[in-house]
Amino acid sequence: MLDYAAKLTREPWSMVEADVQSLRESGFSDVAILDIVQVAGYYAYVNRLADGLGVKLESIWDEK
């Protein structure tokens, strides 16, 4: 699942049916796969909004 989500995040243009089939073979239902795609897509969307608007992280995320 994590490899799938990482690929979807880093190179969504390269996703193929075999990627989905691999998740099915690992026991994920179609509903669970949809959930994975929606969560990964939502985080990508929100991060691009924040980056595009120059939103800064809260100070709690600053490196110590």
Name the region of 54 (left: φ>0; alpha: ψ -120 to 50; beta: rest).
left
Domain ranges, residue 39: 2-61
Does the global pTM surpass 0.85? no
- Split into its structural domains, the chain has a count of 1
CATH number, domain containing residue 17: 1.20.1290.10
Q: How far is CA 52 from CA 19, 33, 44, in A?
A: 30, 28, 12
* Residue-wise pLDDT tens digits, 7-62: 999 999 999 999 999 999 999 999 999 999 999 999 999 999 999 999 988 888 77
